[in-house]
Chains A and B, each alone.
Chain A
Amino acid sequence: MQAVNSFLVAMGRGVGGVVGALYQAGREAIDQIIVNILPFMAFIALVIGIILETGIGDLIANALAPLAGSVVGLIVISLICALPILSPLLGPGAVIAQVVGTLLGSTLIAGGTIHPSLALPALFAINPQVGCDFIPVGLALGEAEPETVEVGVPAILFSRMVTGPIAVILAWLASFGLYADFAG
C-alpha cells in the first residue's frame, strides 16, 4: 500500500510538473506573439501596403534589380552593410535587414525578376551587420573585461568586412540546385 501511494504521489508530481511547464510555455508563447511579433507584423504590413498600392515597389525593384539580381551585386551589398562606420548604425533591432528583406522578397523575388535560388545568398547579403550595434552589451553579458571590449569591438567590425562577402559566396555555392525546376 505504501509503495502504491508513493508511486501515485511521484506520478502526480511528474504529470503536474509537465502540465505546468506546458501551460507556462503557452503563456510565454502568447506573450512573445503580443509583445514582439504582432507589432512588427503591423509595421511590415503597413510598409508592404504602401509599396504595393503606390507603385513605389516598381521603382525600388528597378533600382535594386541590378544590385540584387546577381551574385556580384549581392557581394557589393554585403560589403556596404559591413563597412565599420555603417554596420553599427544599420544594426539596431535588425530593422534595416528586415525592411530590405521584405522589399527584396515582395518585389524582386515575388515578381520573378530574380531566380528564387538567389534568396539564399540574399539572406546573407542583407545581414553582415547583424549584432554590430550590440557588441559592448553582448560582451558584457559574457562578463568580458573592459579591455576585451576595447579590442573586441574593432576586431568584430573588421572581421565582418571579410566574413560578410565570404558568407554571400558560400551561400551562393550552396544555392546550386535550389528550386532547380522553377522556370519563372
Chain B
Amino acid sequence: MLDFLVWLAEGFIGLFIAGGDVFVSLVTGIVPLLIILLTFVNALIALIGPERIDRVGEWAARDGAIYYPIRYILLPFLATFFLTNPMAYTMGRFLPEKYKPAFYDAAVSYVHPPTGIFPHINPGELFVWLGIAAGIETLGLSVVPLAVRYLLIGLVVIFIRGIVTENITNVMWARRTATAKAAV
C-alpha cells in the first residue's frame, strides 16, 4: 500500500521535474538571445521613428493593380515590424474603407511567420514557431533555413490573402448595397 503511494507520488512529482527541466532549457536556451535581440530591435525602432511608415500607408491607399504588393506585402511587413502586434493594425486608417478588411487580414496573418528571426513582432505568441522549431532542434538540425522560408512564404501568403479578401469584401459590399436599395 505504502509502496503504491510512493510510486504515485514519484510519478506526480516526476511530471513537474520534467516540466522544470524543459523550462530551464527554454530559459537558458532562448531567453538570453531574445533579451539582446529585443533590445536591439526596440532601440532600432525608437531611433528610426515608427511614424516614418505613415507615408507608406498613404501610398498604399491608391487604386490600381500596381499598388497591390505595396498594400498587402510592403505595408503589412513594415507595420508588423515597426508597430508590432496589435498596433500594426492602426495602419489601416490610411486606407479607404473597402481595403481595410483585406489589409487587416494580411497584417494579422504576418504576426507569426517572421517570429523565427524577428521575435519582437509578437513576443506573446512565440510558440507557434518555437513549438515546431523545438522538434527540428531535437533532430540536431538548424532552424534557420526553416525560419527564412517561413518568413518568405508568409509574404506570398498574405499577398494572396489580401487580394482574395479584397475581392470577397467587394462582392459582399455590392450585394449588401443591392439589398438595401431593394428594401427602400
Interface residues of A (CB under 8 A from B): 18, 21-22, 24-26, 28-30, 32-33, 36-38, 40-42, 44-46, 48-50, 52-54, 93-94, 97-110, 112, 116, 119-120, 122-124, 126-127, 130-131, 134-135, 137-139, 141-145, 147-148, 150-156, 158-160, 162-163, 166-167, 170-171, 174-175, 178-179, 182, 184
Contacts and interface: CB of A to CB of B under 8 A. Distances in A.
Nearest to A149: B101
B39 A48 contact: no
A103 B131 CA distance: 7
A123 B128 contact: yes
Contacts of A131: 104-105, 108-109, 111
A22 B35 CA distance: 12
Interface of B: 11, 14-23, 26-27, 31, 34-36, 38-43, 46-47, 86-87, 89-93, 95, 97, 100-105, 107-109, 111-113, 120, 123-136, 138-139, 141, 145-146, 149-150, 152-153, 156-157, 160-161, 164-165, 168-169, 172-173, 176
Contacts of B19: 45-46, 48-50
A90 to B, nearest CB: 12
A53 to B, nearest CB: 5
Contacts of A101: 127-132
Nearest to A182: B141
Contact of B31 (A33, A126, A170, A178): A33
Which interface residue of B123, B132, B160 has the most chain A CB atoms within 10 A?
B132
Given A21-B47, A40-B124, A93-B125, A139 B104 contact: yes
The prevalent SS among residues of B at the interface is helix
A105 B38 contact: no
A144 B99 CA distance: 10
Contacts of A139: 89, 92, 100-101, 104
A131 B125 CA distance: 12
A126 B128 contact: yes
